[in-house]
């Protein structure tokens, strides 16, 4: 929120609005309660233990947005470009940030966080049923520049009860920062359209793409009034 809208307070026609279940809430600042989950982490975990993960995420998103033209042309992200020679440990921290994110989402829905996700936090090498993929939302990319850069969102958490395994149900979810969509696949085979699966185990991220809107709605995104 701070990266997109500043420290606040937010006001006027360009102020952010939170939309959930067809209800709009005006957001006055980055710490608005509408933007937060119910507390699920102790202060030590949230402020100390996870700080390297948060920093790895901030570095990643900042680099992607600053190098948008190159990323969109290649549909590829090289972690060496993002983190330098320490890309191995840094991408591990990035993966743990995403684990924390889906863990908080599950906890907020009163769902037990799978044990393999909790167990991997202190480890340098781990095995997990979670895979992450990255893709370009072409509809957000079609928006006027100012609108797309401020687009932030979290999708619905889907539970795949027909795919219950030894560790419980399968889950899928996604988050977005501008046109970049991060998809989560737990105990579920990723949909290849949304990019190649990643488990902090590759120097390169290969981006997928998708267009969630019908053509007539996509055309409206380019109207001058949205600029």
Can you give the pLDDT at residue 226? 47
Higher pLDDT residue, 155 or 227? 155
152 within a domain of the structure (yes/no): yes
134 belongs to a structural domain: yes
Amino acid 8: pLDDT = 85
Confidence (pLDDT) at 44: 60
Q: Note the pLDDT tens digit of each residue in 7-66.
A: 989 988 888 898 888 888 899 998 888 888 777 666 666 666 789 999 999 999 999 999
Average pLDDT over residues 77-97: 97
More confident residue, 227 or 128: 128
User: CA-to-CA distance for 83 and 92, rounded, in angstroms?
Assistant: 11
Say if 197 falls within a structural domain.
Answer: yes
Domain-located, residue 153: yes
pLDDT digit string (tens) for 149-188? 889 999 999 998 776 655 678 999 999 999 999 999 999 9
Q: Has residue 31 been placed in a domain?
A: no
Structure tokens at 55: 């920093």
Q: Is residue 7 part of a domain?
A: no
Strands 204-206 and 180-186: unpaired
Please state the domain count of the chain. Answer: 1
Residue pLDDT, tens place only, 97-154: 999 999 999 999 999 999 999 999 999 999 999 999 999 999 999 888 888 888 999 9
Q: Could you tell me if 108 and 40 are in contact, meaning their C-beta atoms sit under 8 angstroms apart?
A: yes
112 inside domain: yes
Element counts in the chain: helices (H) and strands (E): 10, 10
Report pLDDT for 196: 96
* The dihedral formed by the CA atoms of 164, 195, 135 and 73, expressed in degrees to the nearest 10: 180
Task: Summarize pLDDT for 59-85 with one digit per residue, the tens.
Answer: 999 999 999 999 999 999 999 999 999
Q: By residue range, what is the domain housing residue 153? A: 41-226
What's the predicted TM-score (pTM) here?
0.89
E-assigned strands of 70-179? 76-78, 130-137, 152-154, 158-165, 168-177
Per-residue model confidence (pLDDT) at position 224: 54
Inside any domain, residue 206:
yes
For residue 204, name the pLDDT band (cuts at 50, 70, 90).
Answer: very high
What is the reported pLDDT for 39?
73
Q: Which helix (H) or strand (E) holds 195?
A: none
């Amino acid at each position: 929120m701070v990266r997109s809208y500043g420290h606040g307070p937010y006001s006027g026609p360009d102020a952010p609005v939170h939309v959930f279940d067809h209800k709009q809430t005006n957001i006055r600042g980055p710490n608005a309660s509408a933007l937060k989950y119910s507390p699920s982490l102790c202060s030590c975990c949230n402020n100390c233990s996870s700080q390297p993960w948060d920093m790895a995420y901030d570095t990643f998103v900042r680099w992607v947005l600053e190098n948008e033209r190159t990323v969109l042309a290649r549909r590829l992200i090289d972690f060496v470009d993002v983190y330098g020679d320490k890309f191995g440990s840094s991408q591990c921290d990035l993966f743990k940030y995403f684990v924390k994110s889906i863990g908080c989402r599950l906890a907020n829905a009163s769902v037990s966080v799978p044990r393999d996700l909790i167990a991997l936090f202190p480890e340098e090498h781990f095995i997990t049923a979670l895979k992450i993929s990255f893709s370009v939302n072409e509809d957000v990319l079609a928006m006027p520049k100012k609108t797309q850069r401020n687009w932030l969102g979290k999708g619905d958490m889907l539970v795949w009860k027909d795919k219950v395994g030894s560790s419980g149900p399968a889950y899928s979810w996604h988050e977005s920062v501008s046109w970049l969509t991060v998809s989560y696949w737990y105990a579920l085979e990723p949909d290849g359209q949304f990019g190649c699966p990643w488990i902090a185990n590759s120097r390169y991220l290969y981006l997928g793409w998708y267009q969630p809107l019908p053509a007539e709605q996509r055309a409206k995104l380019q109207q001058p009034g949205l600029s």
